[in-house]
């Protein structure tokens, strides 16, 4: 019965995302082990700021910007805390991840691309077999964000920190400018926020557009 309810909710809320797809590439044993270890993290999400006041300011600012896309205030804050935790943990700017989600599927939890990419960060199912476990549901909020941030970090490492190429890999459009430019534009124009936890400068963000 529970599975039926979940399936019905999926049908009611699913939308086809106009996204590309991450391409399957063989991983070395060491890289696969490292990615698997990263995916298996079970620590409770939290906002990593020097003070609670700064954490609250960020949460309030982002919540206001996200209100038109996610109406439920409780879920919206839980979503933002999870984005911030998973992005920071992967060494990514949380605002970059918000920009990526905006471009990928406009914050639709059950988004499904024509290629089969799933959820907020449009993760391809082959990643579950490659670095995860069978019980990982890519439509689950934290699971999806953990996979997405881990994969983007992996692509950044492959490309030696080049955001233009890493974002292209993420979308399956390596070498093309449209997708990286859209993500960086959303990052800087909609989600930009100066805090001590931001790991990437605006200069580097603009360089990502090539």
Burial of 3 (0-12, 13-18, 19+ CB in 10 A): exposed
Alpha-carbon distance of 60 to 42, in angstroms, equals 26
**Average of per-residue pLDDT across 172-186:** 95
> pLDDT tens digit string along 18-57?
456 787 887 888 889 999 998 988 888 899 899 999 999 9
Using pLDDT thresholds of 50, 70 and 90, give the confidence band for residue 156: very high
- Structural domains in the chain? 12-20+27-38+46-207 (1.10.530)
The reported pLDDT for the residue numbered 7 is: 34
Whether the predicted pLDDT of 70 surpasses 60: yes
Alpha-carbon distance of 21 to 1, in angstroms, equals 32
**Average of per-residue pLDDT across 186-197:** 83
């Amino acid at each position: 019965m529970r599975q039926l309810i979940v399936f019905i909710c999926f049908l009611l809320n699913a939308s086809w995302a106009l996204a590309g797809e991450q391409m399957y590439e063989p991983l070395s044993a060491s890289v696969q082990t490292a990615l698997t270890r990263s995916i298996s993290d079970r620590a409770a999400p939290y906002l990593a700021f020097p003070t609670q006041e700064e954490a609250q300011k960020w949460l309030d600012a982002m919540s206001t910007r996200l209100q038109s896309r996610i109406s439920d205030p409780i879920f919206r804050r839980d979503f933002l805390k999870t984005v911030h935790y998973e992005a920071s943990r992967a060494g990514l700017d949380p605002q970059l991840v918000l920009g990526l989600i905006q471009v990928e599927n406009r914050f639709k939890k059950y988004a499904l691309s024509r290629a089969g990419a799933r959820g907020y960060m449009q993760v391809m199912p082959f990643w579950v077999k490659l670095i995860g476990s069978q019980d990982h549901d890519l439509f689950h909020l934290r699971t999806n964000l953990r996979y997405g941030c881990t994969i983007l970090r992996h692509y950044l490492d492959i490309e030696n920190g080049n955001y233009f190429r890493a974002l292209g890999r993420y979308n399956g459009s390596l070498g093309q400018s449209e997708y990286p430019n859209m993500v960086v534009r959303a990052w800087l124009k909609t989600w930009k926020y100066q805090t001590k936890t931001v790991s990437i400068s605006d200069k580097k963000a603009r360089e990502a557009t090539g």
